[in-house]
Amino acid sequence: MIDFIDVAVGTGGGVACERCHGSAMPAEYMATSELLGLITRAVADSRTVPGPNLALTGPEPFGHPDLPSLVAAAVDAGVSRLRIDTDASALRSQDNAAGVLAAGVRHFRFSLLGGSAGLHDVLAGAPGALDATLTGLDVLRGEVRAQGVTSCLSALVPICRHNLHDLPAIAAVAVEAGANAVLLRVDDPGCDLAAAVPWMTAACDTGVVNGVWAEIEGVPFCLAPDHALHVSDVLRARSGAKAPACRDCRLDELCGGGPVDASGDLLAVLAPPARAGDLAGAVSRARGSVGHDA
């Protein structure tokens, strides 16, 4: 997956588990003039290769009154790839879908909390949310074909205790919706990682057998040694912020490690994987040849 610089267009909103995080705060959008400056500086300061790549995130970008100006600013600043993180409901309008493609946006990321409306809508706290997302993506794919352009759809799956057992089904829905890549991100500090990994790797396998790459974020390599190339090398927030059991592992520079306060069953399974040195080399080579969102 390719690395993108995130520029949030405001605060609040978003698609997240209501049972974990409570009801979303109302969306408040940043002033256009401030955002234009952030976009220009982000592109100018980017050292990402390939790049620069920019993602408009935060509350629903299609809700910002000056979204066309924000997109134009990113294009004028010389962005290589521009992504919009969206629930896709606004894309049910053919004018919106056609306009955003014509403006130069080629990357889109949508979020899934469940593999069915029964789960996704309940966790999102929004009846009809999954149908709106899938309908919008269908309209977008139709416009992509009509304009003869290439686009990339990726799915973000926030993982929590409430959707853990549905991860393979969520991956299948992402594939059916046209996703080129799926990012499985641990979004629940109370989630039992040791118990979660089999469901995460099953979701990865669901993607791969359908020709869609899946990546796991928030899990140390040693918990998924057979899926090591699917584990994202997320950096630690601060030095030493990992379990003591992780400190002597050859994967230290690549792995976020286990939580610093890991205990019980999780602590018992945290250990350098067999042939950690070989694995570190393989992961380093893979990360060197592939960026981070297809």
Whether 38 maps to a domain, the answer reads: yes
The predicted-structure confidence for 128-137, as pLDDT tens digits, reads as follows: 999 999 999 9
For residues 108 and 87, give the distance between their C-alpha atoms in angstroms, rounded to a whole number.
Answer: 10
pLDDT digits (tens, 9 = 90+) for 101-125: 999 999 999 999 999 999 999 999 9
- pLDDT of 291 over the 70 cut: no
Question: Could you give the CA distance from residue 275 to residue 46 in angstroms, rounded to a whole number?
Answer: 35
- Tell me the pLDDT tens digit for each residue of 248-259: 777 766 777 777
**Span 134-153, mean pLDDT?**
97
Residue 274 lies in a domain: no
| Higher pLDDT, residue 129 or 279 | 129
The length of the chain is 294
Q: How far does the chain reach from its first CA to its final CA, in angstroms? A: 5
Structure-block tokens of residue 228 = 């090591």
Closest CA to 282 of 201, 226, 244, 218: 226
The pLDDT tens digits for 230-245 are 887 655 444 556 777 7
For residue 231, tell me if it sits in a domain: no
Closest CA to 116 of 186, 174, 69: 174
On the CB side of 41, CA atoms within 13 Å amount to 7
pLDDT digits (tens, 9 = 90+) for 178-215: 999 999 999 988 888 888 999 999 999 999 999 999 99
Whether 239 is in a domain gets the answer no
Q: What is the pTM of this model?
A: 0.87
**How far apart, in whole angstroms, are the C-alpha atoms of residue 291 and residue 154?**
14
What confidence tier does 270 reach under pLDDT thresholds 50, 70, 90? confident
For residue 290, pLDDT over 50 is answered with: no
Domain enclosing residue 24, as ranges:
5-217
Three-state secondary structure readout of the chain: CCCCEEEECEECCCCCCHHHHCCCCCCEECCHHHHHHHHHHHHHHCCCCCCCEEEEECCCHHHCCCHHHHHHHHHHCCCCEEEEECCCHHHHCHHHHHHHHHCCCCEEEEECCCCCHHHHHHHHCCCCHHHHHHHHHHHHHHHHHHHCCCCEEEEEEEECCCCHHHHHHHHHHHHHCCCCEEEEEECCCCCCHHHHHHHHHHHHHHHHHCCCEEEEECCCHHHCHHHHHHECCCCCCCCCCCCHHHCCCCCCCCCCCCCCCCCHHHHHHCCCCCCHHHHHHHHHHHHHHCCCCC
92 pLDDT tier (thresholds 50, 70, 90): very high
Task: Find the CATH number of the domain harbouring 177.
Answer: 3.20.20.70
Residue 277 has pLDDT above 50, yes or no: yes
Number of domains in the chain: 1
In a domain, 250, yes or no: no
The answer as to whether 42 is a domain residue is yes
Q: Which of the pair, 50 or 138, is modelled with greater confidence?
A: 138
In a domain, 277, yes or no: no
Q: Confirm whether 256 is domain-assigned.
A: no
Residue with tokens 């297809």: 294
Is 294 a residue whose pLDDT tops 70? no
